[in-house]
């Protein structure tokens, strides 16, 4: 699948499942992106404070700081960074919270990895006219 992206993206992947983290890194690398990994929200916040990312992909059901809390807190450090959230918590309550927490796209589990690539492409397409040099 061609994502239509012109530049390498720096992506922070926050996922407590080591297998999903590993596959996400490989998937993103195969598409020419640089993936940094975090196993929980605390590690992710440390990385967000010290590094710059073009995009964050986070599970919502993280131990400690949840993905919801991480999404909200990340905006203190990188206000324009888009966020893709992955969750098995489907329902109207979860959908209502998306905008409140600064999440741009929600992907429900179980998911296919092409959904991640499509979400990245959609976010980049939406942002390219506003800030062509960023993506």
18 pLDDT more than 70? yes
For residue 91, what pLDDT is reported? 63
Q: How confident is the model at residue 127 (pLDDT cuts 50, 70, 90)?
A: low
Percentage of the residues of the chain whose pLDDT score is greater than 70 = 84
As a whole number, the mean pLDDT across the chain is: 86
Domains contained in the chain, CATH given:
10-127 (3.40.50.2300)
What pLDDT is stored for residue 95 in this prediction? 72
Judge whether 105 and 85 are in contact, CB under 8 Å: yes
User: What does pTM read for this prediction?
Assistant: 0.86
75-119 pLDDT per residue, tens:
999 999 999 999 887 666 667 778 889 999 999 888 899 999 999
The b/e string for 72-103 (b: 16+ C-beta within 10 A; e otherwise) is bbbeeebeebbbbbbbebeeeebeebbeebbb
């Amino acid at each position: 699948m061609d994502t239509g992206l012109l530049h390498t993206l720096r992506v922070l992947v926050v996922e407590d499942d080591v297998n999903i983290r590993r596959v996400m890194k490989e998937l993103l690398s195969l598409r020419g992106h640089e993936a940094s990994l975090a196993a929980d929200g605390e590690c992710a916040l440390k990385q967000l404070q010290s590094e710059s990312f073009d995009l964050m992909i986070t599970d919502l059901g993280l131990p400690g700081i949840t993905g919801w809390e991480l999404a909200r807190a990340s905006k203190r450090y990188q206000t324009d960074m888009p966020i893709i959230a992955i969750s098995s918590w489907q329902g109207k309550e979860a959908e209502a919270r998306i905008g409140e927490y600064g999440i741009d796209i929600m992907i429900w589990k179980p998911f296919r990895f092409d959904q991640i690539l499509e979400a990245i492409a959609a976010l980049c397409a939406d942002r390219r006219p506003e800030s062509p040099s960023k993506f």
